[in-house]
Chains A and B, each alone.
Chain A
Amino acid sequence: MTVEHLTLLSPFIAVGAASLAVMLAATLWKTRLPALSLTVAGLAAALAATGSLVGHAPAAVTPLLLINGYSLYFMGLVLACSLGVALLSIGYFARREQGPAEFCLFLLLSTLGAMIIASSSHFASLFLGFELQGAALYPLVAYARSVPASIEAGIKYLVPSTVASAFLVFGMALVYADTGAMDFGAVAALGRGPGISLLMTVGLLMILSGAAFKLALVPFHLWTPDVYQGAPAPATAFVATVSKVAVIALLMRFFAPFSVRGSGAVTAALWALAIASMFAGNLLALRQENVKRLIAYSSIAHMGYVLVAFLCGTGLGVVAATYYVTAYAITVLCALAVVSLLSHGTESDALADYRGLAFKRPLVTLFFTIALMSLAGIPFTVGFIGKFYVLSASVQGRVWPLTLSLAVSSAIGLFYYLRVVTVLFRQPASANPKDPKPGVVTGIGRPLSAAGLVVLGTAGVLLVCCGVYPGLLFDFIAWIVAS
């Protein structure tokens, strides 16, 4: 362990130190502010450290972690998303009895786990990251102790997640039994032979199903809607962004050698997952009456789009997948920031609550509309550019069934995004007190949290800027992938 290694580990150290500090602060002070500000500071420091490492030569820190441009990019994305979630939670907990200290702690730990997943190069570190990320996420999801739905969501996440971890470990064991290697590089090298054994195939498929659970790919998606709906809004944002970004990073790093060539079974499984996710996600979202559930199903479909880019097996495919994940993270963070901002006291996530929002809160509605347009893939949003790159990659890779599935399923997807937009711009329901659904506007007239607005504004502006002038981000990603 040299100084250089410590420098490379500085983002991890910052997050770890912040979690310890939050623990101490929670025992020393009973107010909300210290825990929240320490969390934000820790995440910001880690983000800055990650930024300063960009351009550093790729280096393996112990056999467990590989720090290169690629893992730094995903770590940066994870940290940025989690910083956004932390800022959202400031406003969210200001209006609730329950303090945010434990929330912050688990947020930091889960982020640390996600960073480890994104940079792992060994089964041991992968499993460590996977478990840390997952175990810290259960309490986040079930954090609203007084709300039965939140507890239910926690249980629904806990049980399948544990099963998924078991699959992952079993898969690793099978691969190890076959190859005798636990290092990603060695596994890929041994798996590259002309035909891979049945043991290896089964092992890889089990690892894949563990990852598919985290990404909520169909048919591993059953937990998603309830967890999204039941969890507190910032926790939903965390599940939707951080945990998916990290697993996509892993997927692209670990499975790239297998999907491009060889192992028909793994490739076939990925194809099936992608097509099923795109269609099922978009079809099931059609009839949702709850914004968080709708975003849950929509995120299933979006992970399918990412897989399409990944499955092209071209250089552009990797860049497109990375770009799409980034676009997705920005957009979903923006959309869930709206839900979080508007959740005064109770969660306001029923679609009916949003009726006529345009006339009550025009600015928030503007950002929400832009986010929905981005999810739907309308030009001048980052979502469109992402979809354009994914389509380009799939056309270049000539994976026509995937291309067509993407086009048809995203056309289906338009229906429900439009439904939400239509509700936003409908005339508000009458102010009749007997009206069972008075339309939101829970907490109208109360100021919105400034920190939450910062997240919303930053995400919204990024979303439009990357949509209008996408070249910079694309060049950056291409440079990182190449290095």
Chain B
Amino acid sequence: MMLALLICIPLLGGLLAWAAGRVHARAPHVVSLAALALDLCLAIRVWARGNAQSGAWLAQAQWPWIPRMGISVNLALDGLGLLLVLLTLFLGVMSIVIPSSEPRDRRGFFHFNLMWAISATVAVFMALDLFLFYTAWELMLVPMYFLIAGWGGENRVRAAVKFFVFTQASSLFLLIAIVALYFIHGASTGIYTFDYTTLLHTALSHRAGAWLMLGFFLAFAVKLGVFPLHGWLPDAYAEAPLAGSILLAGVMAKTGAYGLIRFCLPLFPHASSSFSLAAMILGAAAIVYGALMALGQTDLKRLIAYTSVSHMGFVVLGIYVWGQLSLQGVVLQMISHGITVAALFMIAAALEKRTGSRDIAQYGGLWYSAPRLGGFTVVFALALMGLPGLGTFVGEVLILLDTFRLSISLAVIPIAGTVFAVVYALWMVQRIFMGEALPRPHIADCKGRELAALGIMAVLIVWLGLYPGPFLDTSAPSVTAIRQSALDARPAGKGSMERLARLMQ
């Protein structure tokens, strides 16, 4: 019941916000903020109560939906899902609390879309029925499309269509793969169901497994912005309105990583094991590619988008290494990257609002007029490059530790990438805040709600860096369970990873 509430509160809040738009221009903002805050409190309560009920699951609920096809509304939350739900709701609150995210027109409809996107994302992190998961996965797109196309920057329609078509086309392959898995499982056992736990141990031929795995991987990789499939990402991140950018980069990218961890590898352990080397190379390439592309950007939001590609490279690498430490690192990396990227988009929006431009060349010397904003930018730029003491450092180190154990040469590439990260992060700060001030009127420093939001996020990123224990403890049981279930199914020493490891010895 609690889980259904977590999904339904933003749904209802969205409808209410739309209706409230007719009453007063500020009303939708208040309604959706209240709904998200309530939802966040509920999620925190689930976190505080903590103790697992059965296995790694903290809470579970099931209702029939389309019994003839073996489809049910099967919701469950474990530590991994809970952390991502918390992240979603937290960033949801942050994205609307600051004044610069409020659109000028059609506010009711804006908040409706925002809330529905959040609700669908929360549902993605809870769905244990593959059909339900796919439904929620698709439903994330539509409100996000409207957010980008309705309230985005200059090239918003192009960016929105590109985003929609990339993700929708790839998820059609996900649907085919899901349906094929359903029939293969049904044909071999006689049980036709979309239930995740039942499908987990489907016997697949090598060829079938490889194709189905690719179908899943494609959809998740596009969402994650894995290197050759990231074409939509810079446009969408840069053109979306602030709340949309925060949701896209902070949360929706994580649904891809979540999908890989929860579905792709456990459902197809053999195929994923043979594929892991390729995926790890893609991840490592993305780290370097994203960092290099970020160096060349003049548009601040596009720069942040490419750093995101780079960081998601770490996530892919960590997932396919499939070690206990690396997976824990991935979880931490997802949370701290979500917070960092959201904060940076907020800063970018604040700068855009004050100077009227996203072009970095139009900034310069802003420190004199906005030292607090500059300070926050430094903190989050340091987080981008993974400074010890900040959340991203812990995540990256955990991922690299396991990668290093597997293959030294594979671990060298990301480390090279982090060098570029230092360059783009520091250079970004330098170009915006240092140097000669352009002849322009003073810009306002951040204060009030903006200051509070950035402050909370800075505190969180430091907390994640200094004392990640509570987060790691929450995700540990579920990560162990998922990892073990895939490892059990995988024959020892047959995957390319193990071959690679032997080669390196």
Quick check: B146 and A395 within 8 Å, CB to CB? no
Quick check: B172 and A422 within 8 Å, CB to CB? no
Give A410's nearest chain B residue, CB to CB: B172
Give A475's nearest chain B residue, CB to CB: B68
B168 to chain A, nearest CB (A): 5
Is B471 on the interface with A (CB-CB < 8 A)? no
Question: A368-395 vs B: 1/0 string, CB under 8 Å?
Answer: 0000010000111000100010011001
Interface size class of B (residues with CB under 8 A): 20 to 34
Is B169 on the interface with A (CB-CB < 8 A)? yes
Is B176 on the interface with A (CB-CB < 8 A)? yes
Quick check: B135 and A470 within 8 Å, CB to CB? no
Given A415-B165, A425-B150, A471-B67: A391 and B179 within 8 A (CB)? yes
Is A411 on the interface with B (CB-CB < 8 A)? yes
Quick check: B183 and A395 within 8 Å, CB to CB? yes
A379 to B182, CA, bound (A): 19
Is B180 on the interface with A (CB-CB < 8 A)? yes
Question: B124-144 vs A: 1/0 string, CB under 8 Å?
Answer: 000000010011001101100
Quick check: A379 and B138 within 8 Å, CB to CB? yes
A301 to chain B, nearest CB (A): 14
Residues of A within 8 Å of B172, CB to CB, are 407, 410-411
Given A418-B145, A425-B149: A411 and B68 within 8 A (CB)? no
Interfacial residues of chain B within 162-217, with CB under 8 A of chain A in the complex: 164-165, 168-169, 172-173, 175-176, 179-180, 182-183
A474 to B183, CA, bound (A): 18
Residues of B within 8 Å of A415, CB to CB, are 161, 165
Give B150's nearest chain A residue, CB to CB: A425
Quick check: B66 and A471 within 8 Å, CB to CB? yes
Is B157 on the interface with A (CB-CB < 8 A)? yes
Is A45 on the interface with B (CB-CB < 8 A)? no
Quick check: B139 and A379 within 8 Å, CB to CB? yes
Question: A446-483 vs B: 1/0 string, CB under 8 Å?
Answer: 00000000000000000000000111001100100000
Quick check: B173 and A407 within 8 Å, CB to CB? yes
Interfacial residues of chain A within 406-423, with CB under 8 A of chain B in the complex: 407-408, 410-411, 414-415, 418-419, 422
Is A403 on the interface with B (CB-CB < 8 A)? yes
Quick check: B175 and A388 within 8 Å, CB to CB? yes
Residues of B within 8 Å of A346, CB to CB, are none
Residues of B within 8 Å of A475, CB to CB, are 68
A388 to B150, CA, bound (A): 29
Is B160 on the interface with A (CB-CB < 8 A)? yes
A134 to chain B, nearest CB (A): 36
Residues of B within 8 Å of A391, CB to CB, are 175-176, 179
A372 to B18, CA, bound (A): 21
Give B139's nearest chain A residue, CB to CB: A379
Quick check: A380 and B135 within 8 Å, CB to CB? yes
Quick check: A407 and B149 within 8 Å, CB to CB? no
Is A396 on the interface with B (CB-CB < 8 A)? yes
Quick check: A414 and B168 within 8 Å, CB to CB? yes
Quick check: A418 and B138 within 8 Å, CB to CB? no
Give B186's nearest chain A residue, CB to CB: A396
Interfacial residues of chain B within 227-274, with CB under 8 A of chain A in the complex: none
Quick check: B146 and A392 within 8 Å, CB to CB? no
Interface of A is mostly: helix
A418 to B157, CA, bound (A): 10
A57 to B69, CA, bound (A): 28
Quick check: B179 and A395 within 8 Å, CB to CB? yes
A378 to B183, CA, bound (A): 22
Quick check: A411 and B168 within 8 Å, CB to CB? yes
A255 to B163, CA, bound (A): 41
Residues of A within 8 Å of B164, CB to CB, are 414, 418
B7 to chain A, nearest CB (A): 13
Residues of A within 8 Å of B135, CB to CB, are 379-380
Residues of B within 8 Å of A403, CB to CB, are 176
Which one of A378, A408, A471 contacts B68 once the chains associate, using CB atoms below 8 Å? Answer: A471
A478 to B175, CA, bound (A): 23
Residues of B within 8 Å of A425, CB to CB, are 146, 149-150
Which one of B66, B68, B142, B157 contacts A422 once the chains associate, using CB atoms below 8 Å? Answer: B157
Given A391-B179, A411-B168, A425-B150: A380 and B161 within 8 A (CB)? no
B8 to chain A, nearest CB (A): 14
A222 to B105, CA, bound (A): 44
Quick check: B183 and A407 within 8 Å, CB to CB? no
A16 to chain B, nearest CB (A): 38
Residues of A within 8 Å of B183, CB to CB, are 392, 395-396
B107 to chain A, nearest CB (A): 13
Q: Which of A379, A411, A425 has the most CB of B within 10 A?
A: A379
A287 to B114, CA, bound (A): 31
A225 to B183, CA, bound (A): 39
A475 to B157, CA, bound (A): 41
Residues of B within 8 Å of A408, CB to CB, are 169
Quick check: B66 and A470 within 8 Å, CB to CB? yes
Quick check: A392 and B161 within 8 Å, CB to CB? no
A379 to B179, CA, bound (A): 15
B476 to chain A, nearest CB (A): 33
A203 to chain B, nearest CB (A): 36
Quick check: B161 and A418 within 8 Å, CB to CB? yes
Given A380-B135, A425-B150: A474 and B169 within 8 A (CB)? no
A403 to B175, CA, bound (A): 11
Which one of B65, B106, B169, B180 contacts A414 once the chains associate, using CB atoms below 8 Å? Answer: B169
Quick check: A395 and B157 within 8 Å, CB to CB? no
A165 to chain B, nearest CB (A): 38
Which one of A378, A395, A427 contacts B138 once the chains associate, using CB atoms below 8 Å? Answer: A378
Quick check: A395 and B66 within 8 Å, CB to CB? no
Residues of B within 8 Å of A384, CB to CB, are 138
Residues of A within 8 Å of B160, CB to CB, are 418, 422
Quick check: B149 and A411 within 8 Å, CB to CB? no
Q: Which of A384, A422, A425, A475 has the most CB of B within 10 A?
A: A422
Residues of B within 8 Å of A422, CB to CB, are 149, 157, 160-161
A8 to chain B, nearest CB (A): 30
Which one of B66, B67, B142, B182 contacts A378 once the chains associate, using CB atoms below 8 Å? Answer: B142
Given A379-B135, A414-B165, A422-B157: A395 and B145 within 8 A (CB)? no
A118 to B464, CA, bound (A): 67
Give B64's nearest chain A residue, CB to CB: A471
Residues of A within 8 Å of B179, CB to CB, are 388, 391-392, 395
Quick check: B169 and A411 within 8 Å, CB to CB? yes
A140 to chain B, nearest CB (A): 36
Residues of B within 8 Å of A410, CB to CB, are 172
A261 to chain B, nearest CB (A): 21
B65 to chain A, nearest CB (A): 8
Give B138's nearest chain A residue, CB to CB: A379
B67 to chain A, nearest CB (A): 7
B478 to chain A, nearest CB (A): 27
Q: Which of B68, B146, B160, B176 has the most CB of A within 10 A?
A: B176
Question: A237-254 vs B: 1/0 string, CB under 8 Å?
Answer: 000000000000000000
Residues of A within 8 Å of B180, CB to CB, are 395
B19 to chain A, nearest CB (A): 12
A450 to B131, CA, bound (A): 38
Residues of A within 8 Å of B106, CB to CB, are 359
Of the A-B pairs whose beta carbons lie under 8 Å apart in the complex, a sample of 10, sorted by A's number, is A403-B176, A407-B173, A410-B172, A418-B160, A418-B161, A418-B164, A422-B157, A422-B160, A422-B161, A471-B68
Q: A410-B172, A422-B161 are known; give 19 further A-B pairs, CB within 8 A.
A: A373-B142, A378-B138, A378-B139, A378-B141, A378-B142, A395-B176, A395-B179, A396-B183, A411-B172, A418-B145, A418-B160, A418-B165, A422-B157, A425-B149, A425-B150, A469-B65, A470-B66, A474-B69, A475-B68
By Cβ-Cβ distance, the 3 closest A-B pairs, closest first, are A411-B169, A379-B135, A407-B172
